[in-house]
Chain A
């Protein structure tokens, strides 16, 4: 079980998920469309006053990004569970947490990262200032991997259930709150010209914590769900 075979397995699984996603290219758009759609609902509900919109834009965009990330979590293990490949991961020669990390990174690249492409457009939609959009991109870059990592734990716990989707949000959303608080406030503060280094370092700390702990929890959860 040398590190070479470990890296190869990691890269192989990452390659596999990216290839699978590209072969079903249309599904790549779903999280993005959801993200844009939810964000455009708010002005329709709240009114189009630019001052009001730009004040609440950071919160809206981040809540929408958070929901988009959560809704796309189901794809992380569902298809593997149904065709039996998840069992193959459990009995592979590589530690399960490394394989889980590969799958989560792939999920982030497929669903989390693309949110950054659309975010500036939504920023303009809600009259965000230039500095805020910059902060929005930075916080999304740091925040979305944390959403995928923590979400993977919830998905692993509910993968065996017939209707796990509803419970997934109850398990995962409370754990998303710190990311939402720091990220949304970073975007708001940068709009007001305040420094956001504190926010970004806290988000980075959450990312490091999630990177080191959540694959272990996800692996343990998978072993239990599949036992």
Chain B
């Protein structure tokens, strides 16, 4: 994936979020540039998921602004969404579709990634042999890897992941961490929350703790 030189990524200015009138966080500012990873830490209910949903543009921040290449993400709309991929708590995998069908759908919804076919993506997450089995018949860990395979089939510069390692075994975690490393090396960006320590050896990491 060729990294475009000129864009300078996601910039948050004074973000604030209130959920049923409790101030989760306020005046949060950071700048996420190509090749950087944002790791969100904090206790349960400290607003990590809400912040991620704001980054995705699914939720309006109660105050402050979020800009992608200097442009407010809510004004960009689908244009911004074409550049991101999101995997939340729920996998977003349809149980009655096969692994291939799930990925074909994800590929159609986002900006298709010419470098990765569906089979190549399945191979990356070692689900190639389950390509035609229904998602219903896959284990929780395999379904999680299928959800993460979605990141590969679309050309997304910014990956936004909520607890990506849940229900993954150590082998699975290793696979996913290597995906992160390649993505960052290719000039991609990462925003992730995880109770599991994310080992990105030489990547440029920004840590934000929401519960301090």
Binding site for B on A (CB under 8 A): 1, 5, 8-9, 12-13, 16, 19-20, 23-24, 82-85, 87-96, 99, 223, 226-227
Contacts and interface: CB of A to CB of B under 8 A. Distances in A.
A1 B59 contact: no
B105 A13 contact: yes
A207 B116 CA distance: 42
Contacts of A92: 78, 81, 109-110
A93 B58 contact: no
B92 A83 contact: yes
Contacts of A90: 56-58, 81
A100 to B, nearest CB: 13
B82 interface: yes
Interface string B61-92: 00000000000000001110110111011111
B91 A94 contact: no
B181 interface: no
Contacts of A95: 77-78
Given A87-B56, A87-B92, 18 more contacts: A19-B96, A23-B96, A83-B94, A83-B95, A84-B88, A85-B92, A88-B86, A88-B109, A90-B58, A91-B56, A91-B84, A91-B85, A91-B86, A92-B78, A93-B78, A94-B78, A96-B78, A227-B60
Contacts of A93: 78, 81-82, 109-111, 154
A23 B77 CA distance: 34
Nearest to B112: A5
B108 interface: yes
A88 B106 contact: yes
B58 A87 contact: yes
A96 B58 CA distance: 12
25 contacts: A5-B108, A5-B111, A8-B108, A16-B101, A19-B101, A20-B96, A24-B96, A83-B91, A83-B94, A84-B93, A87-B56, A87-B86, A90-B57, A90-B58, A91-B84, A91-B86, A92-B78, A92-B81, A92-B109, A93-B78, A93-B154, A95-B78, A96-B78, A99-B109, A227-B58
Nearest to B106: A88
Nearest to B54: A227
A88 B93 CA distance: 10
B104 A85 contact: no
A223 B111 CA distance: 21
Would you list the 5 A-B pairs with minimal beta carbon distance, nearest first?
Answer: A84-B90, A93-B82, A84-B92, A92-B109, A12-B108
Given A9-B109, A12-B108, A16-B105, A84 B81 contact: no
A1 B105 contact: no
Contacts of A91: 56-58, 81, 84-86
B90 A227 contact: no
Given A1-B82, A16-B94, A84 B89 contact: yes
Contacts of A1: 78-79, 82
Interface in B106-131: 106, 108-112
A19 to B, nearest CB: 7
B114 to A, nearest CB: 13
Contact of A83 (B60, B93, B150): B93
A53 to B, nearest CB: 42
